[in-house]
Amino acid sequence: MNKWLHASVCVVLASAVILPSSTAALQADLPPWTDAEPSSQATSSSNATEVQLAENARSAVLMDADTGTIIFEKNSHDKLPPASITKIMTMLLVMEAIDEGKLKLSDKVSTSEYAASMGGSQIFLEPGEEMTVEEMMKGIAMASGNDASVAMAEKIAGSEKAFVQMMNDRAKELGMKNTHFENCNGLPAENHYTSAHDIALMSQALMQYPNVTKYTGAYEDYLRQNTSKKFWLVNTNKLVRFYQGADGLKTGYTSEAKYCLSATAKRENMRVIAVVLGEPNTKTRNAEVTQMFDYAFAQYTNVPLLKAGERIGGVRVEKGMVENLEIKAQRPYTVLLKKGDAKQNIRFELDAPKSVKAPIEAGQPIGRIVVYQGDKMIREFPVEATQNVAKAGWWTLFKRTCGKLFFVK
């Protein structure tokens, strides 16, 4: 009788859980061996309240790369021509394709007639010439090769037009609200624009692939090294040689955009991104970015909160193949503070529901980390599921319910 009663209760409970519920020379970066500079000046006005930076730039941003905290900005959302800084998005899509296994650094890339026809900065690819993805990346990152950029675009998407659509789609995903690309290399085109803030966002995304600094941070290298057409590459970004910790990212120049730069540097546990647009000449551009770097490293520090892989907490999964989902840090979490601020008062809490319903996909938002300094909230980070959890079938739920019924102590 007792066995029959237990079985009846089990069936009832199981039923409940499974019920529904202009000239080419002026159309790209100038070659490294020329010092030619236009004489026109960019406007100078700053939004900074504590410090005056990038006074000659038309627009500027200084960002902490790890947290995305904006340290300084000036006209940062103005829509402006980016020139060859466009290639940061091109490099990002290349690195993502490699990360996803769609591309290998050793893959051969063939040069089309169209890619070889690009003017401005180039590595002088000939129609039909092949280079590896790695060699093309050197040509893009160091020599700002317009031809190499188009060749890579065609390799990944089949055509530059299709690749540019990918660029614009990725820009939307990154929250780049003041950006529209018309090509993959930054040659002047109507309706081709971005902002200093948006450039900082895509630069931050590119820095999620630290191996890219192998190309963006190198000062010189060679292409076609074992041939009679050996080609010397010299990085258009001179800061990678002359500023301690600088290892990228991309210069830009057209007669319309003036001198532009998205630069990054790392010292100890802090990486910063400095973007300037519309500078009057290379000397001013480099000096003002150097000043921005100096300010960030002198005034700020990153305080570590969590290491990658460290457990944050957990939530219960309703009707899932697993009953509990462990929440782990998918990357190191840090908070940017001014040097001298009381670090010992920093704490964080996990703000997440007690339970979530299956199915769950890896990357699905399930809560947030809230950072406090004393009683003041100073930062929050989204938290995502680190694994897929499928919805359990009725038999799994039936056995789980019965197991709890008969074996609970």
Asked which of 21-25, 242-246, 345-349 is least confident by mean pLDDT, the reply is 21-25
Statement to judge: residues 218 and 311 lie in one domain: no
Q: Model confidence over 24-33: pLDDT tens digits?
A: 333 444 433 3
Question: CA-to-CA distance for 244 and 353, rounded, in angstroms?
Answer: 45
Could you tell me if residue 100 is inside a domain?
yes
Cα–Cα distance list, 91 to 139, 154, 215, 323, 371 (Å): 11, 13, 10, 41, 33
Statement to judge: residues 179 and 252 lie in one domain: yes
State the pLDDT at residue 14.
40
Query: Confidence class of residue 400 from pLDDT cuts 50, 70 and 90?
Result: low
Statement to judge: residues 74 and 166 lie in one domain: yes
* Structure tokens that stand for 164 in this block: 């540019």
Return the CATH number at 346.
Answer: 2.60.410.10
Q: Model confidence over 155-182: pLDDT tens digits?
A: 999 999 999 999 999 999 999 999 999 9
Could you tell me if residue 20 is inside a domain?
no
Point out the catalytic residue in the list 59, 76, 121, 144: 144
Query: Confidence class of residue 51 from pLDDT cuts 50, 70 and 90?
Result: confident
State the pLDDT at residue 210.
94
The rounded percent of the chain whose pLDDT value lies above 70 is: 84
Question: CA-to-CA distance for 227 and 232, rounded, in angstroms?
Answer: 12
Could you tell me if residue 373 is inside a domain?
yes
Highest mean pLDDT among 190-194, 315-319, 399-403: 190-194
Q: Of 276, 300, 324, which marks where a domain is finished?
A: 300
Confidence check: pLDDT of 47 > 60: no
- HSE-up (13 A, CA, CB side) for residue 178: 16
Could you tell me if residue 195 is inside a domain?
yes
Confidence check: pLDDT of 7 > 90: no
Domain count, the chain: 2
Could you tell me if residue 36 is inside a domain?
no
* Structure tokens that stand for 285 in this block: 């551009």
Could you tell me if residue 342 is inside a domain?
yes
Point out the catalytic residue in the list 59, 74, 76, 84: 84
Return the CATH number at 133.
Answer: 3.40.710.10
Q: Model confidence over 192-224: pLDDT tens digits?
A: 999 999 999 999 999 999 999 999 999 999 999
Average pLDDT of the chain is: 86
Q: Model confidence over 330-389: pLDDT tens digits?
A: 888 899 999 988 667 889 998 988 888 889 888 888 899 999 988 889 888 888 888 887
Q: Model confidence over 271-317: pLDDT tens digits?
A: 999 999 999 999 999 999 999 999 999 999 998 899 988 998 888 88
- Verify whether residue 144 is a known catalytic residue: yes
Confidence check: pLDDT of 266 > 70: yes
Q: Model confidence over 349-363: pLDDT tens digits?
A: 989 888 888 898 888
Statement to judge: residues 261 and 361 lie in one domain: no
Q: Are strands 324-328 and 270-279 parallel, antiparallel or unpaired?
A: unpaired
Q: Of 277, 300, 323, which marks where a domain is finished?
A: 300
Q: What domain range includes position 179?
A: 59-300
Statement to judge: residues 261 and 154 lie in one domain: yes
State the pLDDT at residue 153.
98
* Structure tokens that stand for 378 in this block: 């100073």
State the pLDDT at residue 36.
33
Question: CA-to-CA distance for 53 and 31, rounded, in angstroms?
Answer: 27
State the pLDDT at residue 342.
65
Statement to judge: residues 178 and 63 lie in one domain: yes
State the pLDDT at residue 374.
87
Q: Of 241, 274, 300, which marks where a domain is finished?
A: 300
Instruction: Please tell me which residue, 48 or 356, carries the higher pLDDT value.
Output: 356
* Long-range contact pairs involving 110-115 (C-beta distance under 8 Å, separation at least 24): 110/151, 110/155, 111/147, 111/151, 112/150, 112/151, 112/154, 114/150, 114/154, 114/160, 115/147, 115/148, 115/150, 115/151, 115/154
Is the preceding peptide bond at 249 cis, omega within 30 degrees of 0? yes
For the entire predicted model, the pTM comes to 0.80
Confidence check: pLDDT of 44 > 50: no
- Verify whether residue 46 is a known catalytic residue: no
State the pLDDT at residue 19.
36
Statement to judge: residues 122 and 202 lie in one domain: yes
Statement to judge: residues 217 and 152 lie in one domain: yes
Q: Which amino acid is at 222?
A: Y
Statement to judge: residues 402 and 261 lie in one domain: no
- Verify whether residue 87 is a known catalytic residue: yes
Statement to judge: residues 296 and 316 lie in one domain: no
Statement to judge: residues 263 and 319 lie in one domain: no
Point out the catalytic residue in the list 87, 138, 155, 319: 87
Could you tell me if residue 30 is inside a domain?
no
Could you tell me if residue 8 is inside a domain?
no
Statement to judge: residues 266 and 366 lie in one domain: no
Question: CA-to-CA distance for 17 and 320, rounded, in angstroms?
Answer: 11
What are the two backbone dihedrals, phi and then psi, of residue 169, each rounded to the nearest 5 degrees?
A: -65, -45
Question: CA-to-CA distance for 277 and 54, rounded, in angstroms?
Answer: 9
